[in-house]
Amino acid sequence: MKFGAVPIAEAEGGVAVHSIRKGALVLKKGAVIGAKEIAALKDAGISEIVVARLEPGDVSEDVAASDIAQAVAGEGVRVERAFTGRANLFSEAPGVLVVNKTAIDALNLIDEAVTFATLPAFKPVVAGEMIATVKIIPFAVAGALRDAAVSVARAAAPLIKVAPYRIRKVGVISTVLPGLATKVIDKTMRVAAERLAPAGAMIVAERRVPHDKDALAQALEEVLREGAELVIVFGASAIADRRDVIPAAVEAIGGRVEHFGMPVDPGNLLLLAEARGRPLLGAPGCARSPKENGFDWVLMRLLAGLDVPREAITGLGVGGLLMEIVTRPQPRDEPVVPHDHHIAAVVLAAGRSTRMGGPNKLLEEIGGKPLVRIAAEQAIASKASPVIVVTGHQQERVAAALKDLPVRLVHNPDFADGLGGSVKTGIAAIPPEADGAVVCLGDMPQVDAALIDQLIAAFDPEKGALAVVPVFDGRRGNPVLWSRRFFPDLMAIEGDIGARHLIGRYSEAVVEVPVTGNGALVDVDTPEALRGVKAEIEGG
């Protein structure tokens, strides 16, 4: 492939390497240059352009990507039409992703121009989920290079496939000891059913028996006779040894313990066994939680009928320290002494108010005050300190609206890219001594100091309350108080998604605070919303 700058008169048939915007001219990267484009470039006063041209024996980026993608795809994988040198691969049905890492590594070593990326091995996927992508870096590659990649893929085919779920009938046994509440087992059963549902599996037999070897052995026999293709045992007490109750009961019915323990936390105390030719799992305590943990990694592979040899489990150590460890107490040299937590406030006031149709909503007034000033004053009146306001759109006007208030202004120059940048800007400005931050929205004038103080009062890291969310009428609202432990996650946010997804990811660390009034749910995004809130506040 030829690559380089050429005079405009010689550019016809070439592919534009860079996007060009000048005056009325918009020429996108990857565009094939014809007579029309040459005329437009000349009119814009551009004398030369960087182009790529295919040479004899070359294949275009799309052809190469498509051919390689077709070669790597196996069972349950659909290849989408290639575009801009990229061919995406999708799952055709629910299942577990299986990849040949050795062959994929070999393919990626062929040449820097050819790349193949996948989701993690053995990840559960749903129908229609993107699972991999072939990307050709330049605009074309030599045909011999494409052929080499296809050859590697075919020699080890398939490099990627989706193993469909095969096990549909599951038996669940819970052992019971004094002090284990029935509601705990009931919740465990609900969580187990929800965990199995994406695989199309269901619980066909359930037993609750004393935490005793003989009682458990009898229950195992019963659920296997009732057709369970896989059995899960939730012990009232965690398995402590291969000679403990659950492994002993497995061996009592002629079963075999294949592996005990797993280098994944949470999930260490998992037992993998076999009885009557069917898999059996002794669940670790974390399996009672809906949060993903090491138990899921083994369970989903078994549901897909895949082998889980000992080396597959022992190989999970790298990456096995899961993020929900954030909910666990931190080691301390001294006893924990109750104290008032130092919480900062971050008021997000950088947005462009696009849904308002023109005006900056943060400068609209209610009761003679701009919305952003109302939000800042309530944060100041709360127990949060310091109060940090993130500016962006119309920075000077927003700052003027906050004149004389004891706030720290920090500017997000990338405010147009979305909320994520403003969150990162605010979190980066929080002083190191702060234990956490309450992130407020500048367009929620009914969030008052009392509500913010409710969140601060509920914040208790020693008891696992690391994120505090207001709830009204069963709905979660804003602001949200985040422990410092979540600051790295908040700093990793991109685009316009905000931090709401972290609530779901770290559900065990979230505490909900019921609040009166719907102020935690109401933001001012439109002229209609502004009129409604204004009437409610000023009318009162």
**Residue 23 pLDDT > 80, yes or no?**
no
Q: Which CATH architecture has domain 169-321?
A: 3-Layer(aba) Sandwich (3.40)
How is the chain split into domains, by residue range? Answer: 2-53, 58-164, 169-321, 343-535
**Of 6 and 234, which is predicted with more confidence?**
234
Domain boundaries 58-164, corresponding CATH code: 3.90.1170.30
Distances (CA, A) of 147 to 85, 111, 141, 143: 16, 12, 10, 6
Between CA 227 and CA 205 the distance in angstroms is 8
For the chain, the average pLDDT equals: 90
**Which CATH fold would you assign to the domain 2-53?**
Molybdopterin biosynthesis moea protein, domain 2 (3.90.105)
User: Using 50, 70 and 90 to split pLDDT, how confident is the model at 335?
Assistant: very low
Determine the pLDDT at residue 494: 80
Between CA 360 and CA 346 the distance in angstroms is 19
Class of domain 343-535: alpha beta
**Residue 495 pLDDT > 80, yes or no?**
no
Determine the average pLDDT of the residues in 512-518.
89
Between CA 345 and CA 285 the distance in angstroms is 36
**Residue 83 pLDDT > 80, yes or no?**
yes
Q: What is the pTM of this model?
A: 0.59
User: Using 50, 70 and 90 to split pLDDT, how confident is the model at 90?
Assistant: very high
**Of 12 and 236, which is predicted with more confidence?**
236
* pLDDT per residue as tens digits for the range 138-168: 888 999 999 999 999 999 999 999 999 999 9
Determine the average pLDDT of the residues in 4-19.
81
Determine the average pLDDT of the residues in 491-499.
78
User: Using 50, 70 and 90 to split pLDDT, how confident is the model at 334?
Assistant: very low
User: Is the Cβ–Cβ distance between 10 and 50 less than 8 Å?
Assistant: no
**Of 258 and 83, which is predicted with more confidence?**
258
Between CA 455 and CA 448 the distance in angstroms is 11
Structure tokens given for 128 = 């229609």
Q: Which residue has the tokens 């600051």?
A: 487
Q: 3-state SS string over 299-358?
A: HHHHHCCCCCCHHHHHCCCCCCECHHHHHCCCCCCCCCCCCCCCEEEEEEECCCCHHHCC
Mapped onto helix, strand or coil, the DSSP state of residue 499 is coil
* pLDDT per residue as tens digits for the range 421-478: 999 999 999 999 999 999 999 999 999 999 999 999 999 887 778 999 999 988 889 9
* pLDDT per residue as tens digits for the range 230-256: 999 999 998 999 999 999 999 999 999
Determine the pLDDT at residue 440: 95
Q: Please state, as a whole number, how many other Cβ atoms lie within 10 Å of the Cβ of residue 518.
A: 13
**Residue 502 pLDDT > 50, yes or no?**
yes
* pLDDT per residue as tens digits for the range 355-386: 777 789 999 999 899 999 999 999 999 999 99
User: Using 50, 70 and 90 to split pLDDT, how confident is the model at 337?
Assistant: very low
**Residue 8 pLDDT > 90, yes or no?**
no
- Percent of the chain with pLDDT strictly greater than 70: 96
Determine the pLDDT at residue 505: 74
Determine the pLDDT at residue 290: 86
**Residue 329 pLDDT > 60, yes or no?**
no
**Residue 406 pLDDT > 80, yes or no?**
yes
Between CA 505 and CA 495 the distance in angstroms is 18
Burial class from Cβ neighbours inside 10 Å (0-12, 13-18, 19+) for residue 94 reads buried
User: Using 50, 70 and 90 to split pLDDT, how confident is the model at 500?
Assistant: confident
Structure tokens given for 96 = 């577990």
User: Using 50, 70 and 90 to split pLDDT, how confident is the model at 5?
Assistant: confident
Structure tokens given for 13 = 């048939």
Between CA 299 and CA 81 the distance in angstroms is 34
Longest dimension (CA), the chain: 89
Cross-strand partners of 134: 87, 116
DSSP annotation string for 199-222: GT-EEEEEEEEES-HHHHHHHHHH
Determine the pLDDT at residue 385: 95
Structure tokens given for 514 = 């019921």
Determine the pLDDT at residue 323: 54
From the list 489, 508, 485, 507, the residue with the least C-alpha distance to 499 is 489
248 CB-near residues (< 8 Å, 6+ apart): 213
